[in-house]
């Protein structure tokens, strides 16, 4: 079945049907879930971790292939990202800067998040310091907490995986508040910083100075990046 946003949910009920759906998994469709219908009409996930890795690998490989043939607009965007990255952390090597910028482009597309927002989040979170660690234990570029990184199945110490986890978690936070179109981004940022539970508890951006300042800083940089 296909949702209005173009993502596919693959449903099957026996091995024969699943085999016939392999073409769907490799056709470039955005597959958000693969589930099996069992007796009684209930739906269960099947090898969720393994299937997620397979689908994620296929998606990422497709995107990386596309990135090898970057459009002029992509090149302009990457140029802006790299200048921003160098501004915040001039100690990075050219190779590190390129790896960060290309990973942001790839995983932002994968998770349907504006890459400029990801750039802004990472800039405020860590100043693009690859080995950044907070007093609370948050790790890497996107300052992922160990338990969050574990749930996302990423190694936060590796550039590409940290960015994959960052964009994935940011998309998760945005999904919680998508019914409020004009508030989705600031509420998602507040959730990224203080946790979704805190935002839900207060019915909006929590009254914490750190979180309120965080949202303002990210939104300000995001607006500047959008104006370029």
How many angstroms separate the CA atoms of 169 and 156, rounded? 12
- Which distant-in-sequence residues (6+ apart) come within 8 Å of 91 by Cβ? none
Q: In what order do the strands lie in the sheet with 7-12?
A: 7-12, 30-37, 43-45
Q: What are phi and psi of 25, to 5 degrees?
A: -65, -25
How many angstroms separate the CA atoms of 8 and 29, rounded? 7
H or E stretch including 24?
A: helix 22-25
Strand 30-37, strand 43-45: pairing: antiparallel
How many angstroms separate the CA atoms of 163 and 168, rounded? 8
How many angstroms separate the CA atoms of 209 and 183, rounded? 19
Q: Is 150 helix (H, G, I), strand (E, B) or coil?
A: helix
Instruction: Return the active site residues.
Output: 125
Angle value at C-alpha 64, between 18 and 73, nearest 5 degrees? 125
Q: Which of 173, 175, 180 is nearest to 218 (CA)?
A: 173
């Amino acid at each position: 079945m296909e949702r209005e946003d173009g993502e596919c949910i693959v449903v099957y009920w026996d091995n024969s049907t699943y085999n016939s759906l392999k073409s769907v998994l490799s056709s470039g469709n955005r597959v958000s879930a693969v589930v099996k219908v069992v007796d009684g009409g209930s739906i269960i996930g099947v090898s969720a971790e393994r299937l997620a890795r397979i689908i994620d690998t296929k998606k990422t490989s497709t995107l990386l292939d596309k990135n090898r043939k970057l459009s002029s607009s992509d090149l302009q965007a990457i140029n802006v990202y790299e200048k921003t990255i160098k501004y915040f952390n001039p100690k990075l090597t050219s190779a590190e800067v390129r790896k960060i910028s290309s990973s942001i482009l790839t995983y932002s597309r994968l998770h349907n998040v504006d890459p400029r927002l990801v750039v802004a989040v990472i800039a405020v979170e860590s100043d693009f310091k690859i080995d950044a660690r907070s007093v609370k234990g948050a790790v890497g570029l996107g300052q992922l907490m160990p338990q969050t990184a574990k749930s996302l199945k990423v190694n936060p110490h590796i550039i590409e995986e940290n960015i994959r986890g960052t964009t994935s978690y940011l998309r998760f936070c945005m999904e919680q508040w998508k019914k409020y179109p004009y508030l989705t981004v600031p509420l998602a940022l507040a959730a990224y910083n203080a946790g979704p539970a805190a935002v839900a508890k207060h019915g909006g951006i929590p009254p914490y100075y750190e979180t309120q300042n965080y949202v303002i800083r990210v939104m300000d940089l995001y607006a500047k990046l959008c104006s370029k």
